[in-house]
Chains A and B, each alone.
Chain A
Amino acid sequence: MLDDPPAPLLVAEARQALEAGLLAGFPQKVAANALGIAQRELELGPAFAEAAHRQLVELLGHYGPLDALERELAMGLRESAIGLGGEALLEHLILSACAKLAVDQPGYAGFRALRES
């Protein structure tokens, strides 16, 4: 459910940059940022995937691998087989967007504002 590039590639890229000799300042911030995403993916990813899987099974009404269910949902929306107003649909889209953001950018200002509201 999380986006590319996945944690191992983020770590590999950061490691390579460190080995090549990172400049202080912006490049170091970017590397730390990439490692932070990878760390949160390892810590939070499994529980988020489990929750998303549960929501999708309920939403689509049958079992299957997580990526297959996500594809089915995307295709159902694309081909208008699924309506836009369903409560369970909106709940899944909102919760999975928040879960992804908690990994990718927990400090995103709009996200912080939501949690502090």
Chain B
Amino acid sequence: MAGDRVSPLSPASSPRAAAALGSAGSTPVDVASLGEALLAAARGAGLPGERVENLARLGGGASKEMWRFDLALEGGGRRPLVLRRQPPGRTRSSQGLASVAAEAALVRLAERAGVPVPSIAFELPPGSPAGDGYAMARLEGETVGSRVLKLPELADARAGMAHRCGEILARLHAIPPGEAPGLRSQGAREALDALEARHRETGQVRPVFEYALRWLKDNLPEERARVLLHGDFRNGNLMVGPDGIRAVLDWELAHVGPPAYDLAWICVPSWRFQRPELPVGGFGTREDLIAGYGAAGGAPVDPAELHAWEVFQTMNWGVMCAGAARAFMAGARSLEGAVIARRASETEFDLMRMLAPDHPAWAEARRAR
């Protein structure tokens, strides 16, 4: 169900978790007052709520809290919901949207465009004692990336999923960006400058990242258009059932930019888990992804442009891992942070696989171990 995501790789597979390491404190929560605040927000939004029941914190979500609850309705009936919130008084990460509640508006927009999402039930009003956030439908499905690739009952779903991902992204990218006001807009050059700046901030000596940056400066094309992006579209943020993708989750990194940004992020090798041979999330081919994108009205995808963005996005994940190392060394000690930090090397390996696939040194590396 949405948010009920305690992954064996949960912190390590979540970019936000890496970005937020050290900032996620655990403050004791008064569950009764949280329930009251939720009921007030639901009623304020016009829902005939009578009681909040079975309110419980869900695991995962290093940067945002997730809670499950049932809204018992006047005259019987109940709605199973999930709250996504930032408790009052916590500072927001600078990368994301202006508020968690602003995410809800975006999710509504995506739903109207035909993107599968958990329907929004209500937002927390400004100043709510429950903090900043919203309640959405509680759906059933698998979200842990490695299990999406493994569960036998999802075999049929996996077969069509790369094509479906393309369709979903085409629908999302067709939304006029002006309908989602307040989002940051970032073209290819700005995105590359920002990536380099984040790498510099880590202060780390990384010849592979310097090599990739040089290559990207020569090869990342200027965008032909800027569209509304999900910003974190990958295996791990898709809720999957036997019937296919039921919902696209975690919209907090949404922004406006080149369409290839989303198409490439789901092709980053790190999200392929145990299936490195299937580039799209470990479940499909680029050809299917691109065909689905085109079938739902998306602009033609240039394979060379997609490749360049895959290089960009692989380094992007690498810099997130490297940022975890910096946070750890600066004193934000955590075991998860340490282990994520040591995942930066997987991206150096993947970058070299992409940038020098035919070099004879690979044969030497193969023999060495």
Q: Which residues from chain A sit less than 8 Å from chain B, CB to CB?
A: 3-5, 9-10, 13-14, 17, 26-27, 29-31, 33-34, 37, 67, 70-71, 73-74, 77-78, 80, 84, 87, 89-98, 100-106, 108-111, 113-115, 117
Contacts and interface: CB of A to CB of B under 8 A. Distances in A.
* Contact-residue size bin, chain B (C-beta under 8 Å from the other chain): 35 or more
A62 B71 CA distance: 71
Contacts of B11: 30
B206 interface: yes
Contact of A95 (B272, B328, B345, B361): B361
Contacts of B253: none
B129 to A, nearest CB: 30
A5 B341 contact: yes
A67 to B, nearest CB: 7
A105 B343 contact: yes
A37 B342 contact: yes
A27 B348 CA distance: 26
B293 to A, nearest CB: 25
A114 B338 contact: no
A3 B211 contact: no
Interface string B341-354: 11111101111110
Contacts of A31: 335
A101 to B, nearest CB: 5
Given A93-B352, A105-B345, A70 B339 contact: no
Contact of A4 (B325, B333, B366): B325
A92 B356 CA distance: 12
B339 A37 contact: yes
Sort A-B residue pairs by CB-CB distance and give the 10 closest, nearest first.
A77-B210, A100-B345, A94-B361, A98-B365, A110-B276, A91-B361, A97-B348, A104-B342, A4-B325, A97-B349
A91 B10 CA distance: 34
Nearest to B209: A74
B305 interface: no
Given A13-B335, A94-B361, A114-B365, 8 more contacts: A5-B325, A9-B328, A31-B335, A91-B364, A95-B368, A102-B369, A109-B275, A114-B366
A3 B268 CA distance: 21
